[in-house]
Structures are given as C-alpha cells and as structure tokens.
Amino acid sequence: METSKVIHAIYTDDDILMSAVKKVKAAKHHIEEVYTPFPVHGLDKAMGLAPTRIAITSFMYGCVGLAVAILMMNFIMIEDWPQDIGGKPSFSYIANMPAFVPIMFEMTVFFAAHLMVITFYLRSRMWPFKKAENPDPRTTDDHFLMEIAVHGNEKELKSLLEETGAVEINIVDKEEAH
C-alpha cells in the first residue's frame, strides 16, 4: 500500500494565508484542507468550495416546527381541553390564531436552531468522544495550516509555499497526520 504524502504549510497571519491560498490555487494545486483557529472570511470561496446547503435544511426544519406548533396548539387548546380564557372561548383555531402567533414563532425557531445544529454535527462527522483531526495543535491557538497533496512535485510546492510566506513547511504521511 502506497502512503500518500502531504505538505503542511504553517502561517501566522490570516491575510497571508488568504493570499497564499489564492496563489496555490492559481498554480493549479489541490488544497486538501485548511485548519484555522477561527473562521476566516472568504476562505471557502478562495478554496473553491461549493456553497453550503444548511440554510435550506434550516428552512425545512423551521417549516416542520411551524407545523408541529399548529397541530400541537390545535389539539391542546381546541380539541382536547377548550377553555374560556379571559372571556375568549377556544372553540375555533382560526378565531384564536392571533394569540398563538408567539408560540408558532418560538417553535419555528426552536426546531430550526436545534435540528440545524444536530445536522451540522452529523454532517461534519463530529460526535461525542471523537478524536480531534487537526494535524497540529497550534491551529487551535494562533497558527494556520494549509494541507496540500504531494504528487512527486515536492520541490516545486516547497518553493511556491516559501514564496507565499509560510513560516514552516513539513512533508508528512497522510496516515500519520491524522
């Protein structure tokens, strides 16, 4: 089995990292991953990543929450136990809907937020007790790491990365990195 090698280029500034990503992409090299201690605005676009679809799932989860709220309130307040609250009898959902709007809003937000977080964790393959995948612990503090696949072009990649301002360049086996 052949081990795949990658280059880890480490940067200390997010602006230098952004320009380096653009230069590496312009030189037609494939960036496997970039590890950062905080979100870097525009990095996903610079890397050429596809836009996320999590907003679509959030909308669908919000619709589910709204439907659950409507069905729940209709059952609880109209069908199961209708009451005369403050002189307003609860015998029709439509007649009482203005009073139910805050509950519908809150359930929509509750479902969208909670289910979106669960979806994000599952999609990112992050679950309890999972071992961290970042190859260098400094990327959780103040360093940025760009991981590029090596296909027999180590010298060319090294010189390109030195030009982009990398403070450290390491060639590692992919299996050891994670």
Q: What pLDDT band is residue 17 in, cutting at 50, 70 and 90?
A: very high
Cα gap 35→138, rounded to integer Å: 10
pLDDT digits 0-9 by tens, 126-164: 888 888 888 888 888 899 999 998 887 888 888 888 888
pLDDT bin (cut points 50, 70, 90) of residue 176 is low
Q: Rounded to whole angstroms, how far apart are CA atoms 32 and 147?
A: 5
Identify which has the larger pLDDT, 164 or 108.
Answer: 108
Q: 98: pLDDT confidence band, cut at 50, 70 and 90?
A: confident
Between 173 and 34, residue with greater pLDDT: 34
pLDDT for 60 equals 97
Nearest Cα to 151, choosing from 23, 8, 30?
30
Query: From CA 61, how far away is CA 34, in angstroms rounded?
Result: 30
Cβ atoms within 10 Å of 112's Cβ, excluding its own: 20
Eight-state DSSP code of residue 31: E
Task: Give the model's pLDDT for residue 131.
Answer: 86
What digits encode the pLDDT tens for the residues 25-60? 998 888 999 999 999 999 989 998 888 888 899 999
* pLDDT of the residue at 1: 41
Instruction: Give the residue with greater pLDDT, 44 vs 112.
Output: 112
For residue 169, give the amino acid letter: I
Could you give all domains of the chain from N- to C-terminal order, each with its CATH number? 5-51+133-177 (3.30.70), 54-123 (no CATH)
- Residue 2's pLDDT is what? 53
Separation of alpha carbons 63 and 60, rounded Å = 5
